[in-house]
Structure 1
Amino acid sequence: MESALYEVTGNIAVITLNNPPINGLGLDLRKAVIASIDRAGQDPAVHAIVLAGSDRAFSGGADVKEFGTPKSSTEPNLLSVIRTVESSDKPVVAAIAGACMGGGLELALGCHFRVAKADAQIALPEVKLGLLPGAGGTQRLPRLVGLGTALNMIVSGSIVPAAQLKASSLFDEIVDSDVRSAAIRFAQRVVAENRPLRRVRDLQIKDAGGEAFLQSARDKVAASSKHFPAPLKCVDAVAAAYTKPFDEGMKIEREAFLALMTTPESRALRHAFTAERAAAKIPDVPADTPTRHIGRVAVIGAGTMGGGIAMNFLNAGIPVTLLEMKQEALDRGLATIRRNYENSMKRGKLSADQLEARMALLQPTLSYDDIKDADLVIEAVFEDIGVKEQVFGKIDEVMKPGAILASNTSTLDMNRIAGFTKRPQDVIGLHFFSPANVMRLLEVVRAEKTAKDVLATVMQLAKKIKKVAVVSGVCDGFIGNRMLKFYRNQANALLEEGASPQQIDRALENWGMAMGPFRMGDLAGLDIGWAIRKRLYAENPGMKRSVIADRLCGLGRFGQKTGKGWYRYEAGRRDALPDPEVDAIIAAARKEAGITPREVSDEEIIERCIYALVNEGARILEEGIAARASDIDMVYLHGYGFPAHRGGPMLVADLAGLPNVVAKMRGFAAQPSADAAFWEPARLLVRLAEAGKTFN
């Protein structure tokens, strides 16, 4: 396949980028563009050049297939391509439709003129990878749209429709029709009128008060991006476009780009970018596996979880039937959904018409008969195997053949749940995270007999409802909650040894976690964990008990919803306040266990909690519960508040060096109060460490 197509229409050469799906600027395409520009330059019959993409994308930027390979920097690199385009003696017009992002936009900025379709998506999203535009984006964009607009686009990485930039000099023409034909006509006018070539590098930025604006922007960006160096570097580079000659600004941009490439923050964000795409690929389910049609969804249970799940489908325009057993519970659930949408409307994220359109897709019912024609049914009822058995027995009886039967269980055995039906091949786990209408993670639990087309269907559906879907095998707690148990184990052990809930939470939050384990427990509700522990105690009578946590729950301290948990909460506020009653419970438990409290460092808190996650993650990989280490990182980044700038627990271990992680674990095992068996490194972890390899 040719990477760029070349044809001549009259006196206009049309070069069409041809690297689907998004015309990633890989090495072959870069070479083809330069060769085509040279060919057009040498043809006396050609008077101007149109550089076009497809309707889907002019270019989405760098080719992700080349990330981390020598090809990404092999000449001609993107800078060389842009120099070739910009220095052409014949006018070059970019015909922009679909995605025009990152290097794609930088290439367009190197053209002399630009014609865009009104709905083209314009962005410089490099900051989302911990980088800044490295091929002139920070220098050329401000020269066309002004400091304010350019800086907002570059620091946020947000997508802007071309029509929104109509008032700027970025586009010479914005059209609603075929952009390729419009660009050819525009190029013909440029030739007929003998217009001079407009090289963006030669333009001046004429923003009054630019220095004051840049200083204010620098202060705001510094305050909002403490874990990430890239946003401030973006400000510096844009400032250089304002204060320095073009070539000096380019040098500053390039130096910043190369420096950011080596930061752990960029490494983490790039890892997450590729990991999210990898998670969608299931090794034994081919990409062309046929999928089942999902035209209507049913949700059983109108509580917080069920209502949130329903909203995901309503947001995507998919009708939902919401089933409850009692009218009062159904009314309460409907009111909560409407209130959530009204809150979105107040924040300007939803119009009144959109609110009513979504509510119109929702059909409430008290009868199982009303869900029988749904293509997918998701139960979101109480987390008890007996309750699940009743529900699955009923839906097995009423649902049409071929319907997918899903459970929102967070810990229970999906093989057992599938066994409650006569069609286990149609059963799957869809573990949404709370609040389900906000959290991006969806753990897709593949039971022993789940059909491949069922798996392919829900993975496709997850994209439609804007979830990051990660496939898990069946085990207690699946990927996320199984690992979380070990994280909490260490938090509880550190508490017994001498740390306070406040110190543990503060240490982990300062490290980057969205919430420490004790604040998170109070938010989620301690009764949920208590119910799971009681089940596990019954199943494993010899297991160690969480004495302090159990005593809190025994006193009715279930967290924010009861006003008391690990902390106390004042009415109408969510501030986690230290509680002397909790301190007394902790002190009594230590005394009964014969523990003399000691000083615990923040470093020990972080390493023990995070390496506990890593060790169990290694076992999950070894058992095949997760297909790849990056899937585990996706679960923690999108479902458990793991800091984006760390990239996930398995990447943290990779960057620390697996031999160092193993040595730390063995050091923890040797401590006088340690549970040595807990810190036995997973076989996979030891094997990789000894081989000098990494998880990812």
Structure 2
Amino acid sequence: MSNSYVQNYILSQAQAKVMSQTQGLYPAPLKILDVIQQTLENGSKVGFNAEAEGFADLCITNESKALISLFHGRTECKKNKFGKPKREIKTIAVIGAGVIGAGIAHISIDKDFQVILYDPTSIALYHGQSQIVKSYQNYIKRNRITNTEYNQILSNLNCQTTFNNLDKCDIIIEAGFEDLKLKQNILNELEQYIPEHSIFAFNTYILSIHQIAAHSRRPHKVIGLHYFSPVDKVELLEIIRAKQTSDNTVCTAVNVGLKQGKIIIVVNDSPGFYTTRLLIFAFIEIFYLLQEGLSPNDIDKATKKFGFHIGLTILLDEFGIDTITYIVYHLQNIFGERLANSSVIELLHIFVKNNLLGKKFGQGLYIYSNDGSKKINPKCKELLKNSLTQTKDISRIETIQWRICLRIINEAARCLEENVISSPTDGDIGAVFGLGFPPMKGGPFRFMDTYGICNIVDLMNNYQLEYGDRFVPTQFLIDMIPTADQFGSQDFCADVIDDTNVQSNQWCIIFLVGYDSPNLIQASSVQGTVLTIGTRQVNRPSRNYTYVYFNDAATGTNVHTVDCGWDPHVMYSGNTITIYIPSPPWIVGHTYYVTFDSGVASGTDFCKPESSPTTDSNFWRFDIWNPAVSSTTTTTTTPPTTGTVTTRPLSTTTVNTLLTTTGIVLASTTTVTTTIITTTTITSETSKELIVLASTTGTTTTTATIFITDAAVNVMYPKDFVRKK
């Protein structure tokens, strides 16, 4: 059997595995396999070039931008934006030892919290404690913790059926049933036991925090904490703030969540909060689709191909049809037929009446076996026969995907409009980490930016005509169309503009490492491939405090600094350095220039030269022009139709390096002289600056035509920089 056959077989199996796990929605794994194949077939030199080109291609994909946006959003949601709490939390009481309550205790006892797990019934308390003990025993088996650490962690847990020691608690987290009266009674009873500084938090996915605290003696200390199941695996914590909740209460709750290892979004108290609201609107659309004759398998296939990690009908069964019905009961009077019409509500009640309640009861849309297998529930098909509506043309997977997706993103936009969430970033993080919105699409708001809000609104209008008023776009989205606004974060775009019709689509500043051992030169990534003389691999500098500086030319002041030694916003690959700037400080109409410390780039071989410093303010300049802002709101500069470039000075050492890399061999006694034969002005997309170097050996003159990238550029923001309301 030939090696090539084995290689091709392994690669084909790997590709099939990637496609099975990603549905082909992540380009990076497939690109990696392509690079491996090129390396095996053509050698490491071709492979290294393919790797560098592949990385550059992947950097500018929508998936890359979405995932980078999620990374930075997740980082932001791991910070306490509300400052430092007045009092450190040391002791937590969890009221209710069910799955959620035990999960909250589980993620608290290994973070140096003293935890009281309370339940009025001994059997529930036993099951809750067993759940925690079993989890940590599994950690020992997997070598995540030692026996000593296990004993130390479990010593932080105190399980009890009485209210003893509640007077020592800094925060009470109630994790009982979703019943308003029950939670009000618990609050009323326990307020007499807990100290004045103690915070009372309620785990809920639907009940109003304002109503829970209606009869509290200290409503400013009441807050909502929506933990997701399983608590120890789902990262998101949705914190619900009522109008009366104090800033310090929010700050303290965020601090507890962060210490528990959660990423936090803080939402305002409103019907369904944020994540539950979006999920219910998606589930309701699934019931509309079922009414129109689609099978759960059809919907699962479409939603997985859209990017959800599991099919949404499976998720619906896991969530519970009884729970969905309960939530719809709470939300129907508020959202009316925009949520669901009477036939869908009747269908939900029919499912509940016939005990099709979801996975936890063994049957819902599917029947679940003890061995983990599942099949379509024939009883479900039978019940749907009596509820079928006029069949629509929904044979296309895209139609199924868009109907569910539009319901989610329209409601997400409403939540931003109604100030349920404070930012698109919180909306994206909540949707991706809370309800499983496809990560490669970046969340509802990033997805709308990518697809185009105008296009999204057009789709909603078309679906409204076809399927009804539940698809009417929110006015918030409609108002964004005339000004071409987007939700996107303020990501910087730096590229040459040679034409007023060119809309830049880059999201990072990209530097190409040049050829004088090595220095940094500006790369024009939109106008074409940057041609280099030879390929130089570079590394991140081995020391910190190696900076790239961004300076305002008008004032000469530094406005942004990046440490290339450690900053995760700086990425090295091949001969490129990409600097991502999540919150750029630029001012429209201003000119900026870039300078570098020595050592921003280092050669890959030991003791190879570092990049030399660049302090010339004319070396790399850019102007800010924003086409999305009208002249009535701010002064703008007109983008140039041509760009005049200034030649970078070349040293004798540089010339020797250039001549060597181009294959021109000079005798050791040769005196090198350089003459700039010609320089050109950039007047079109294809015209580039050229420098022709001439070297003389005796009476023979040898010339080399070298491409030098533009030393002065003009810059514009992408239209999605602007955020108007």
The answer to whether TM tops 0.5 is yes
SS of the counterpart of 2:237? strand
Distance, in Å, in 1 between the alignment partners of 2:313 and 2:352 is 13
Q: 1:229 to 1:402 in 2, by over 3 A?
A: same
1:242: Cα distance to partner? 9.2
1:685 corresponds to: 477
Over residues 403-446 of structure 1, what are the superposed CA-to-partner deviations in whole Å (9 max), with x where a residue is unaligned?
11101111111112222321112111111001111110000111
1:232: Cα distance to partner? 4.9
1:115 corresponds to: none
Please identify which structure carries the higher helix content. 1
1:306: Cα distance to partner? 0.4
Q: 1:352 to 1:680 in 2, by over 3 A?
A: same
Distance, in Å, in 2 between the alignment partners of 1:221 and 1:356 is 45
Q: 2:54 aligns with which of 245, 250, 256?
A: 256
Do the aligned residues in 1 keep the contact of 2:92 with 2:115 (CA within 8 Å)?
yes
1:151 corresponds to: none
Q: 1:239 to 1:577 in 2, by over 3 A?
A: closer
Over residues 622-658 of structure 1, what are the superposed CA-to-partner deviations in whole Å (9 max), with x where a residue is unaligned?
1111011121111121111222212112222211111
Distance, in Å, in 2 between the alignment partners of 1:496 and 1:300 is 41
The range that moved more, 256-265 or 619-628, is: 256-265
2:349 maps to 1:550: yes
Over residues 505-560 of structure 1, what are the superposed CA-to-partner deviations in whole Å (9 max), with x where a residue is unaligned?
22101222122332112212222222223344578898734222221111112112
1:369: Cα distance to partner? 2.8
Over residues 271-315 of structure 1, what are the superposed CA-to-partner deviations in whole Å (9 max), with x where a residue is unaligned?
1011123335677x4x4x444201111100000110011111113
2:380 maps to 1:582: yes
Q: 1:600 to 1:395 in 2, by over 3 A?
A: farther
1:695 corresponds to: 487
| Aligned-residue CA RMSD (Å) | 2.8
1:264: Cα distance to partner? 1.9
Do the aligned residues in 2 keep the contact of 1:490 with 1:609 (CA within 8 Å)?
yes
2:684 corresponds to: none
Q: 1:395 to 1:223 in 2, by over 3 A?
A: same
2:65 maps to 1:267: yes
Q: 1:620 to 1:535 in 2, by over 3 A?
A: closer
Do the aligned residues in 1 keep the contact of 2:461 with 2:471 (CA within 8 Å)?
yes
Do the aligned residues in 1 keep the contact of 2:282 with 2:408 (CA within 8 Å)?
yes
Q: 1:223 aligns with which of 17, 40, 44?
A: 17
Which structure is higher in RCO with an 8 Å CA cutoff and minimum separation 6? 2
2:430 maps to 1:635: yes
2:408 corresponds to: 613
Distance, in Å, in 2 between the alignment partners of 1:362 and 1:221 is 47
Match runs of 1:367-516 below 5 Å: 367-516=162-311
Task: Give 1:392's aligned amino acid.
Answer: L
Do the aligned residues in 2 keep the contact of 1:504 with 1:516 (CA within 8 Å)?
yes
Q: 1:566 aligns with which of 346, 360, 365?
A: 365
Task: Give 1:261's aligned amino acid.
Answer: C
With normalisation by structure 2, the TM-score equals 0.61
Task: Give 2:221's aligned amino acid.
Answer: D
Match runs of 1:127-206 below 5 Å: none
SS of the counterpart of 1:321? strand
Q: 2:148 aligns with which of 353, 356, 361?
A: 353
1:202 corresponds to: none
Do the aligned residues in 1 keep the contact of 2:227 with 2:238 (CA within 8 Å)?
yes
Q: 1:319 to 1:689 in 2, by over 3 A?
A: same
Distance, in Å, in 1 between the alignment partners of 2:334 and 2:410 is 23
1:484: Cα distance to partner? 1.5
Distance, in Å, in 2 between the alignment partners of 1:586 and 1:630 is 39
Task: Give 1:272's aligned amino acid.
Answer: L
Match runs of 1:43-192 below 5 Å: none
Do the aligned residues in 1 keep the contact of 2:394 with 2:400 (CA within 8 Å)?
no
Match runs of 1:26-37 below 5 Å: none
Q: 1:215 to 1:577 in 2, by over 3 A?
A: closer
2:75 corresponds to: 277
SS of the counterpart of 1:534? helix
2:468 corresponds to: 675
2:611 corresponds to: none
1:387: Cα distance to partner? 0.6
Over residues 92-119 of structure 1, what are the superposed CA-to-partner deviations in whole Å (9 max), with x where a residue is unaligned?
xxxxxxxxxxxxxxxxxxxxxxxxxxxx
Do the aligned residues in 1 keep the contact of 2:270 with 2:420 (CA within 8 Å)?
yes
Over residues 25-71 of structure 1, what are the superposed CA-to-partner deviations in whole Å (9 max), with x where a residue is unaligned?
xxxxxxxxxxxxxxxxxxxxxxxxxxxxxxxxxxxxxxxxxxxxxxx
Distance, in Å, in 2 between the alignment partners of 1:497 and 1:245 is 55
1:658 corresponds to: 453
Do the aligned residues in 1 keep the contact of 2:203 with 2:226 (CA within 8 Å)?
yes
Q: 1:669 to 1:264 in 2, by over 3 A?
A: same
The range that moved more, 274-283 or 437-446, is: 274-283
Distance, in Å, in 2 between the alignment partners of 1:210 and 1:337 is 51
Q: 1:375 to 1:214 in 2, by over 3 A?
A: farther
1:462: Cα distance to partner? 2.2
Q: 1:349 to 1:222 in 2, by over 3 A?
A: farther
1:56 corresponds to: none
1:247: Cα distance to partner? 7.3
Q: 1:321 to 1:584 in 2, by over 3 A?
A: same
Distance, in Å, in 2 between the alignment partners of 1:522 and 1:602 is 21
1:259: Cα distance to partner? 0.4
Do the aligned residues in 2 keep the contact of 1:291 with 1:454 (CA within 8 Å)?
no
1:561: Cα distance to partner? 2.2
Q: 1:376 to 1:218 in 2, by over 3 A?
A: farther
Over residues 348-391 of structure 1, what are the superposed CA-to-partner deviations in whole Å (9 max), with x where a residue is unaligned?
43444333332221100111232221111100010010011011
Over residues 536-588 of structure 1, what are the superposed CA-to-partner deviations in whole Å (9 max), with x where a residue is unaligned?
45788987342222211111121122221111122x13333112221111111
With normalisation by structure 1, the TM-score equals 0.64
Q: 1:466 to 1:240 in 2, by over 3 A?
A: farther
1:524 corresponds to: 319
Do the aligned residues in 2 keep the contact of 1:322 with 1:363 (CA within 8 Å)?
yes
1:609: Cα distance to partner? 0.5
Same amino acid, percent of matched pairs: 28
- Listed as ranges, the gaps of 5+ residues in structure 2 are 489-725
Task: Give 1:559's aligned amino acid.
Answer: G
Do the aligned residues in 2 keep the contact of 1:214 with 1:235 (CA within 8 Å)?
no
1:331: Cα distance to partner? 0.9
Question: Which of 1 and 2 has greater Rg?
Answer: 2
1:338: Cα distance to partner? 1.5
Distance, in Å, in 1 between the alignment partners of 2:254 and 2:13 is 42
- Listed as ranges, the gaps of 5+ residues in structure 1 are 1-208
1:489: Cα distance to partner? 2.2
Distance, in Å, in 1 between the alignment partners of 2:130 and 2:269 is 35
Do the aligned residues in 2 keep the contact of 1:292 with 1:453 (CA within 8 Å)?
no
Q: 1:246 to 1:577 in 2, by over 3 A?
A: closer
Distance, in Å, in 2 between the alignment partners of 1:235 and 1:603 is 28
SS of the counterpart of 1:568? strand
